[in-house]
Amino acid sequence: MAIASKVMPYDEVRRDLWRPLSGASSRYIVVLVLLSAVALWGLVAWGYQLYRGIGVAGIRRPVFWGFYLVNFVFWIGISHAGTLISAILRLTDAGWRKPVTRAAEAITVFALMIGGMFPIIHLGRAWLFFWLFPYPNSRLLWPNFRSPLLWDVTAISTYLTGSIIYLFLPLIPDVAQLSTHAAGWRRLLYRTLSLGWTGSDREWHALERAMKLMAGIILAVAVSVHTVVAWDFSMSVAPMWHSSIFGPYFVVGAIFSGIAALLVVMSIIRKTMHLEKYLTPHHFNNLAKLLLLMSLLWLYFTVAENLTAWYGNEPKEMSVFGARVRGNFAPYFWIMVFCNFAVPFVLLGIRRLRSILTATIASVTVLIGMWLERFLIIIPTLSFGRLPAAWGHYAPTWVEISISVATFAVMGVLYLVFSKLFPIVSVWEFEPHSEAEE
């Protein structure tokens, strides 16, 4: 059953997709409380860091970037799940995208909100983060336009704004329908968000044009954002960073981890919300093929990056290369290769093995591998810098670990709350009117 609206009446589809919005089971409440407790503990750890100073983290000379910047790059990469997957599928009018797009777009917004916090967490005096914005002040001081942090802030804030609009536009017809059936504060919320939607032909045409326009814009912004993040590294003269390949390498890695995150989320909501009729094996099969393709592209860029360093045999680069492949960081490197290539290639490359379960397992391993990849990009280079006298060691503290774990809990909390306020699968796209419009 590939498309539910072709075999079920629209009223039945709407009942199925609205059902998760009503009530909260005891399991839902327990999970929400546990995740909120972990998120609160992360907030306590950050408060402790603000009180005691950045020295309570493991960040010290020469490794000034630790878990915070690893998580920053990781979450910005995850955010590409919605923009690139949803935008490309919408622009190409892929019919199978309908149950997938909203889940992907929500991941984008939440991942950007989380990832965008890490440069602020990494600041010693986080309350002065507004100094990064270009504004005139009483001392006539402006931010340094050559600083990559300024361009990170500009790119991420633009990306987040566009992603929120891109998530909101397809929500309008659904919240307009919900406003006629809800009561109390929900009715007020839905009526406010519906913007007076009446469902006229003129509004439908305007919405379709707006969504396709935003899809094109957000696609360009998403690519530019992760190339800006890559330039944070490649514009330096640090070993293994000063590479022209970093732009496309980071974009490929971002799409790779984004597809994996989307598959994991889809698997969870399919099981917990009983949406087997809408999130079918067909959708998982298509996304699993995309994940396999990105795994092969990731392998190509990884081999190209390391082969170039090995063939060049430049002493500074070889010190980092050796630490990665046969030194202290070798276990992490080979686990990364196993998670990002070996597992997806076997589970998804062999047709008989490809299923919802194997796609989910492969996606979990990819997320682990991509986090390790970000770790291996940052830590070995800073630990084995250009001068042997400046080499050092990095070990995260409980503060960094607590904040890092808390971000995953925050992602869970945001998704749980969103799934209780809005349909996680776009209802109006199964409506006969919307089919005709397409």
Task: Work out the angle at residue 324's Cα, subtended by the Cα atoms of residues 313 and 262, and round it to the nearest 5 degrees.
Answer: 125
Confidence (pLDDT) at 388: 61
| Helix pair angle (67-78, 101-115), 10° resolution | 160
Type of residue found at 97: R
Task: Work out the angle at residue 348's Cα, subtended by the Cα atoms of residues 99 and 105, and round it to the nearest 5 degrees.
Answer: 30
- Looking at residue 63, what DSSP letter applies? B
Confidence (pLDDT) at 315: 83
Confidence (pLDDT) at 231: 81
Confidence (pLDDT) at 385: 63
If one looks up domain 25-123+145-437 in CATH, what number appears?
Answer: 1.20.1630.10
What's the helix, strand, coil split of the chain in %, to 5? 75, 0, 25
CA–CA dist 197, 191 (Å, integer): 9
Q: Are 59 and 66 in contact (CB under 8 A)?
A: yes
Confidence (pLDDT) at 386: 60
- Which of 422, 374, 403, 350 is CA-nearest to residue 190? 422
CA–CA dist 170, 314 (Å, integer): 52
Confidence (pLDDT) at 318: 87
Confidence (pLDDT) at 141: 59
Q: Which pTM value belongs to this model?
A: 0.87
Q: Could you list the mean pLDDT of each consecutive 10-residue stretch along the chain, which spans 438 residues?
A: 51 81 85 95 93 85 84 88 75 76 89 88 81 64 65 82 90 89 87 88 89 86 82 80 83 89 91 86 90 94 89 85 88 94 93 91 95 91 69 82 94 92 85 49
